[in-house]
Structure 1
Amino acid sequence: MAADRRPLAIAVMGPTASGKTATAIALAKQLNGEIVSVDSALVYRGLDIGSAKPDAAERAQAPHHLLDLRDPWQTYSAAEFAADAGRVVADIVARGRMPILAGGTGLYFRALLEGLSPMPEADPGLREALAAEAAERGWAALHNDLAAVDPAAAARIHATDPQRIQRALEVYRLTGTPITELQRQRGVAPLPVRTLKLILAPRERALLHQRIEARFDAMLAQGFLDEVRALRALPQMAAVAAPLDLPAVRAVGYRQAWEFLDGQGTAAGFRDKGIFATRQLAKRQLTWLRGELDARWFDPHIDQQRLADAVATFVAR
């Protein structure tokens, strides 16, 4: 069998608050690498504190890519990410350096490493019509419509997930083909690299919950609510009829902060909701990561030597 001569890359994956940024920076410094963000919140300008975006000191330690690509009133698709990341990775490899892919957005990792099925572009008019239909009938009714044309999609999309219900119905109404069928087809080619997938996750779920709570409190102390107030004050955001439907505002923590600043609930209630939503995000991320059968799991607190050995073996091949 011929040796695999593809360039090397390392993917640092894991749930939120698991220590991915610190590990990615350490690997970049050790391996002459550059970090490629694989995070759907970090692409938005102005989402800094609440997204745990690497700060100036962290960025000074290693080059970072794919941060601050869009304004918060704009959208950014997985296909756009895969295309942008593919170009960035090719540039990094051409400079003789190693791409360190770091983040927690499973769809972005899948798009980049496995390729994407050929999906139609978003149709603003159809999306507006679907939103109006949902306002009249409710998202549960639209979920029933989806079940009628694409039972597999309806089975994996929760009835309270308007974004994914809307997208699945949009795809079907634009193409006449269920989104499940299109997802089986290959569109964007996978990244031509040999990747070591490292998953960082504390073995004790309680420890991850403690880290999430501590980080959320730190964000509050750093001025997270002031950051969201500044976002709300932007004229372009004020002009959006339904800001809570924007991908940037749907990011965990930002939705809860937005609703609190709209007058919903107390400060203590906002904190509890933000922490709970972050825990739920971590749970979803862990569920997705368990499907990464070719990945290796490490507890970042106790498995540092095992992780270092895995990286050394991979690089030496």
Structure 2
Amino acid sequence: AKPDAAILERAPHRLIDIRDPDQSYSAAQFRDDALREMAEISGRGKIPLLVGGTMLYFKALAEGLSALPQAEPTVRAEIDAKARQWGWSALHAELTRLDPITAARLQPTDAQRIQRALEVCLLTGEPMSAQQGSGKSALPYEVAAIGLEPSNRLILHERIAARFDAMLSNGLVAEVRALREQFNLSPALPSMRCVGYRQVGQHLDGEFDVETLREKGIAATRQLAKRQLTWLRATPKVDRFDCLAEDVSVGVLNHLRRILEL
């Protein structure tokens, strides 16, 4: 979640509020922006501290990205039209024919990644899996990667539910309604596919009531957390700490002091 005003005042963050919800933002764009900010910070003799939970973006930053084509709105619109007509499961089957390696990694419901893989196939005439690994550039920093992982799944689920309830209480539905009116947002946009925004959008479109919105939002958040944890645990060279431990902050700080020899 975005840090609140009090946190931002105490600890200024970069790369927040840099896009409107009707604009796309790729992992490649993030890498370019992050490297620019990191260079400015390290140029002042400081150490860049990167905080977040999206493992795709961490991987893009740490390992670089393949030289794949940029998004093409016309092609994406064609894919979205086919999805509305046939469904994403049918497009996943089409991807299996065009790029079986990438399709095997994706669920038939993973609309955003299916769309991107099909887009690359259509734009280049080659499967995305055959192009990945080319054009990558290494990160010009030595990374001390810290993974915060919960030791108790039940507590994690309780906190996810409490967080989603707090988001609803703080006006999530009104926020999405206002954004849709201001920007004329489509459900196909990446911002409207995010967990929480997607379910609120479906509620505002009359697909289900608020109670069902809550249930679906919590369930989707749990699924997202599971995927991110699976990816995090498979990432090498990460020092892991139990984020539910009372002394986790002390443990992480002591660990970093040893690395930095402070």
TM-score range, shorter chain: over 0.9
Select the structure that is richer in helix. Answer: 2
What is the aligned counterpart of 1:306 among 239, 251, 261?
Answer: 251
Cα distance in 2 for residues equivalent to 1:278 and 1:108? 18
**How far 1:300 sits from its partner (Å)?**
2.4
- What residue in structure 1 maps to residue 211 of structure 2? 268
**Unaligned segments of structure 2, at least 5 residues:** none
Aligned to 1:81: 30
5+ unaligned residues in a row in structure 1: which ranges? 1-51
Instruction: Give the CA deviation at 1:135.
Output: 2.8
Computed over aligned residues only, the root mean square deviation of the Cα atoms, in angstroms, reads: 1.5
Provide the C-alpha distance between the structure 1 equivalents of 2:146 and 2:91, rounded to a whole number of angstroms.
38
Provide closer, same or farther for how the CA distance between residues 136 and 272 of structure 1 changes in structure 2, counting only shifts above 3 A.
Answer: closer
What TM-score results when the alignment is normalised by the length of structure 1? Answer: 0.79
Q: Work out the percentage of aligned pairs sharing the same amino acid.
A: 49
Residue-by-residue CA offset, 1:231-286 (whole Å, 9 max, x unaligned): 1221x32xx5xx11111111111111111122222221111111111111100100
Distance 1:118-1:232 versus aligned 2 partners, 3 A rule: same
Structure-2 residue corresponding to 1:257:
200
TM superposition shift of 1:172: 1.1
| TM-superposed deviation, 1:122 | 1.1
Please state which structure has a larger fraction of its residues in strand.
1
Q: CA deviation at 1:205?
A: 0.8
TM-score by length of 2: 0.94
> Which runs of at least 4 in structure 1 moved beyond 3 Å after TM superposition?
none
Q: What is the aligned counterpart of 2:117 among 160, 168, 174?
A: 168
Question: How has the CA–CA distance of structure 1 residues 301 and 158 changed in structure 2, closer, same or farther, with 3 Å as cutoff?
Answer: closer
Aligned match of 1:204 in 143, 146, 152?
Answer: 152
Q: Which range moved further: 59-68 or 140-149? A: 140-149
Map residues 1-317 of structure 1 onto 2, 5 A cutoff: 52-187=1-136, 189-234=137-182, 236-237=183-184, 240=185, 243-302=186-245, 303-316=248-261
Corresponding letter in the other structure for 2:4: D
Paired with 2:83 and 2:173, the residues of 1 have a C-alpha distance of 30
Give distance in 2, aligned partners of 1:265 and 1:131: 23
Q: Distance in 2 between matches of 1:225 and 1:84?
A: 30
Q: Relative contact order: is structure 1 or structure 2 higher (C-alpha 8 Å, sep ≥ 6)?
A: 1
